[in-house]
Chain A
Amino acid sequence: MVLVICALWGLWEAYKWLWETAGWTWPFAVNDTTMPHLHDVVAAFWQPTTTGGPPLIRSLLNAAWFTCKEALAGFLLGGTIGFLLAVLLSQSRFLERGIIPYIVASQTVPILAIAPMVVVGLGSKGVAGWKAVAILAAYLTFFPVAINTLRGLQSVDPRAVELMHSYAATRWRVLWRLRVPSSVPYIFTALKISATASVIGAIIGETPASIQSGLGGAIVNFNQYYSLEPTFLWATNVVCAVLGILFYLAVAGTERLVLRKAPEHFA
């Protein structure tokens, strides 16, 4: 991993050097604004954002913690809604056919468009901004969980279902003893997708909602000063990526704990 990072670092700097020296302008002109030195980006973490203020890393970590809260709440909420929705839809072909198109349609509405409505609407009811953003993150999270879990619940071995029928098992028993456990690999696949989606949802949710305290707010803020201090925005991007990766790793780690029990089943 260290090797990969070093190689990417080298590529970045080599590209920058080559394009600057040769004066090439395709696909874009390279200079310290468009492609700052990576060591400058790293150094930016310890620069104060305002004269005499705390270093950038401090405010970014605060922002990351804020966004992390939103994303985690959104992930849990969306994951739960997605799972329950899948269980509901798996119980009836009629429900599934009727509701799936609306679930798909919900994902075609850009989150940028609904973010202000949700934040302002809930804000007028006295709901804190971060909770509203969590709902936006949930909006991105529930979809993969619902679709994958539904697929998992439906793709159970038909003979295993016959076996349960031969025990005169109720629908509820078939669901909890057979369908849900056999969908676990599908659910984890969905949760891995959702983990990063919830972070992105939280960041994007903050921007149109004008919430300043999170990473989305930091991106909007540093975007405005990009021509003066491009490294701040790059540094923010690094923190966003790290947060997304941590979310992913948390789910992947949980999956590994669970699959230790039955590796081949989850392979």
Chain B
Amino acid sequence: MSGPAAASVVEIDGVSKSFRTGVTALQEIALAIRAGEFVSLIGPSGCGKSTLLRIVGDLIQPTSGSVTVNGKSAHQARLDHDYGIVFQDAVLYDWRTVARNVSLPLEMLGWDRSRRRARVAEMLELVELTGFESSRPWQLSGGMQQRVSIARALSFAPPLLLMDEPFGALDEMTRERLNMELLRIWEKAGSTVIFVTHSIPEAVFLSTRVVVMSARPGRIAGVVDIDLEQPRTFETREDARFFELITVVRETLAAGHGGDAPRAGTAEERF
């Protein structure tokens, strides 16, 4: 492995996953993610990007290879509450209020009531949902529900945030607004993010690095460093460099195999 392994939060080493049906979802994935990075996984359906995310989160087991998180196994990291997870759907509990949904992980961690209440208020302020504490999830719009789900994932300040197409079910305008909001939260929370998406502009806009995957079998086709200025703003989407990077990612996707992404500086170094 290249790169400063010591500074890596996530170390994915030769991970393969085959299902009993004989399908090889992932083949020999190697990737190191440094602290504070925002890494997007992008690729066609069936490239195993969600599977990879679930393996990192210890929700499924790889057939071979290993995942190290903060120097421990993915399993230990899960037991240590190192992961915050956000799915495509908010997956809120309808029988709980917004506040009690956000406090769910805190209950699991055994926080006492007053500490929970303070943190929930803080998190709802962060996602701009103050005042909705006692609302029910089904009373909120899709975008608001997803913000509750992000607040829930961040409530216990996990070092690693795993997001599986979190804005995939939302309309374009809500999506762009939540993109901005996510970046603001990411800067504030200082966590490391792994973000699965179908959208090239979204991946380029959000990430510090985009991992492009190809399908059947799922492999890393290339890694594109996103050298857009931080913090990203509304104008970032109009930057010429933004469009160049979109083209690079698109070409890497089309090529399907790594090594031929001319502007992706580190792609060759790493693979």
Contacts and interface: CB of A to CB of B under 8 A. Distances in A.
Label chain A's interface by main secondary structure: helix
Interface string A161-183: 01111111100010001100110
B81 interface: yes
A30 B79 CA distance: 75
Contact of B59 (A162, A184, A264): A162
Contact of A262 (B57, B79, B136): B136
Given A168-B79, A177-B107, A265-B138, A162 B85 contact: yes
B93 A178 contact: yes
Interface in B80-105: 80-81, 83-85, 87, 89, 91, 93-95, 104-105
Nearest to A168: B79
Nearest to B54: A162
A130 to B, nearest CB: 37
A173 B91 contact: no
A93 interface: no
B138 to A, nearest CB: 5
Contact of B95 (A164, A167, A181): A181
A20 interface: no
Contacts, number: 56
B109 A167 contact: yes
B6 interface: no
A169 B78 CA distance: 10
Interface in B222-268: none
Interface of B: 54, 57-59, 78-81, 83-85, 87, 89, 91, 93-95, 104-105, 107-109, 136, 138
Given A164-B108, A168-B108, 9 more contacts: A160-B91, A162-B87, A163-B91, A168-B79, A173-B108, A177-B108, A181-B95, A261-B95, A261-B136
19 contacts: A160-B93, A162-B54, A162-B57, A164-B108, A165-B58, A165-B59, A165-B78, A166-B59, A166-B78, A166-B83, A166-B84, A167-B108, A167-B109, A178-B93, A181-B93, A261-B136, A264-B94, A264-B138, A265-B138
